[in-house]
Structure 1
Amino acid sequence: MDATWTLQDAKNRFSAVVDAAARGEPQRVTRRGKWVSVVLSAEEYARLQRLERASAPSLGELLLQMPQDDEVFERLPLAPREFPCI
């Protein structure tokens, strides 16, 4: 079970928070009664980063998702900006 710390307690006992996270026990931190952060082990953080990268689409996949039709793009009726000459 995840331990929950108030921000002040987490600051006062930071070594204990980090030690528990290093043992694989995520540590929740609250501020004014709201859950605001979690302290994780470096190993767990790296695992989550690998998982996120593995599920992210590649540039090629994103490009293939673009519309492939020959329709004309609708242009907005905007006046060009005027820049002062220096």
Structure 2
Amino acid sequence: MWTVQDAKNKFSAVVDAALAGTPQEVTRRGKPAVVVLSADEYHRLVEGAVKARGSFAEHLMAFPGGDFPRASATLRDVSF
């Protein structure tokens, strides 16, 4: 774990460690702020998230519509 100041001073070491496969956590004022990881690892994570997420249509189709009572309305003829 690195502080922001240490990470700035030793950025090459932070990048080298991330490229070696160990994500590097950077803190600001004692709290976790960011994680530096290799581009390959980032793309792997993003690709996995995209695959796990269904389409918007699948999301809508999965909506539990039967759990909510629907308003019953009578249709009326309208002429234009």
Q: Return the TM-score normalized by structure 1.
A: 0.71
What is the total number of aligned residue pairs between the two structures?
70
Give % identity.
Answer: 51
- The ranges of structure 1 where at least 4 consecutive aligned residues each deviate by more than 6 angstroms after the TM superposition are none
Q: What is the match of residue 35 of structure 1?
A: 32
CA distance in 1, matches of 2:57, 2:28: 42
Please state how far the C-alpha of 1:19 moved relative to its aligned partner: 1.1
- Aligned-residue Cα RMSD (Å) equals 2.0
| Structure 2 spans left out of the alignment, 5+ residues | 73-80
More helix by share: 2
CA distance in 2, matches of 1:56, 1:18: 30
For 1:13, the aligned partner's letter is: K
| Structure 1 spans left out of the alignment, 5+ residues | 74-86
Q: What is the match of residue 71 of structure 2?
A: 72
